[in-house]
Homo-oligomer: A and B are copies of this chain.
Amino acid sequence: MKLLFIEIRHNPLLWLLVFVPVMFAAAKLKPEAHTLLFMLSVLAIVPLATLLSHATESVAAKTGDAVGGLLNATLGNLTELVIALTALRAGQYMLVKASIAGAIVTNTLFMLGASFLLGGLKHHVQEYNRVSGRMQASLLFLATIAMLIPSAVSQADSATVAAFTRKLSVGLAVLLIVAYGLGTLFSLKTHRELFASAEHGEAGETPWPMGLALATLAAVTVLVALVSEVFVESVQKAAEAFGMTPAFVGFIVVALVGGAAEMASAFSGARKNRLDLSVGIALGSASQIALFVAPVLVLVSYFIGPTPMDLQFWPGAVVMILIATLTATLVTNSGRSAWFVGVLVLMVYLTFAMTLYLLPPKG
């Protein structure tokens, strides 16, 4: 418990934890103040995600490499998963899909671009392991391609019916999870040396003892779920108040909130001239969304949602995901970076954000 307080004192992000009780109080007292609840829930999720990330890493560090790696790989995007599950249960499929697409785009463009920019402002030219960067970019590209196939093919073909898309989505979800399992085997067991440098190796931090870590993991997951509920309920109305489209909220706001903890790690790696770490976190996290989070949501939707969810994205999202992964592939191809590369990658992200912000709401 003392360790938890030390951690909190040293990490300014965690001071935001104060907003967790504030939010619950506000939700009780003023259930109609959607805009306020939305902002409080955003402020509450960020530190919870940071705690979750540290607890996962502590458990991973204690349980040894293989199990720990598996845990890290499975729980790395736990925040995104919990938020999406809450939205799924509420039947808000548009928000679920936007947050899947947005997480991939934000991880590849914003996290990567800001890492390049922040690293580049401190170091003239940064070199990183080109081989593992390329390997990870290829995996990401193939993973997103597989995820997008129903959208690409059926969007193009007029004679499509919903039943086809739904069957295809289930088949695809199974395929993606199998590929994810094989990929975990590959990166943790048979070819771990290729991914060595991309491990979440925060050398400076001391891992928590097992008991604390597990308790934190359990308690914080429940808290995230509760906060997510308020977030998902309030987001729609708050978005209207701010003049934001639902697409913008799902794509940009949810993705930035859910990924805050990983971004902190990626940016700190870039500043320390360890771009391998930043590239590994950004691309690995994006791959995980495509290969694990998205298919799990499709399969789970058969049990908890009002109706099954398919993997059909709206055409604009398909274009953005493809551009984001292509950009990541191109940019990591040379194994070198300088600040302007980060500026251009961020600019692509900004144009996406601007487009979604200005996009007239449908209907």
Contact = CB atoms under 8 A, between A and B. Distances in A.
Interface of A: 124-125, 131, 134-135, 137-139, 141-143, 145-146, 149-150, 152-154, 156-157, 159-161, 164, 167-168, 171-172, 175-176, 179, 182-183, 186, 190-191, 194, 314-316, 318-320, 323, 327, 329-331, 333-334, 336, 338-341, 343-345, 347-348, 350-352, 354-355, 358-363
A179 B344 contact: yes
Nearest to A359: B164
A331 B145 CA distance: 13
Contacts of A360: 159-161, 164
Contacts of A124: 190-191
A159 B330 contact: no
Kindly name the residue among A131, A152, A183, A339 whose own CB sees the greatest number of chain B CB atoms within 10 A.
Answer: A152
Contact of A347 (B131, B175, B347, B363): B175
9 contacts: A135-B341, A142-B344, A146-B351, A161-B360, A179-B343, A179-B347, A183-B344, A186-B338, A190-B338
Which of A146, A167, A318 has the most chain B CB within a 10 Å cutoff? A146
Contacts of A190: 124, 338-340
Nearest to A166: B358
A176 B333 CA distance: 24
A343 B338 CA distance: 34
Q: SS class of chain A's interface: helix, strand, loop or mixed?
A: helix
B338 A149 contact: no
Contacts of A348: 142, 145-146, 149
Given A153-B320, A327-B142, A355-B153, A338 B194 contact: yes
A98 to B, nearest CB: 13
A194 B340 CA distance: 12
A162 to B, nearest CB: 11
Contact of A315 (B157, B340, B341, B344): B157
A186 to B, nearest CB: 4
Nearest to A352: B149
A237 B61 CA distance: 60
A340 B157 contact: no
Nearest to A165: B358
Contact of A153 (B135, B159, B319): B319
Given A159-B363, A354-B171, A354-B172, A330 B141 contact: yes
Given A156-B318, A194-B338, 7 more contacts: A149-B348, A153-B320, A153-B355, A157-B359, A172-B351, A183-B340, A333-B333
A351 B137 CA distance: 20
A152 to B, nearest CB: 5
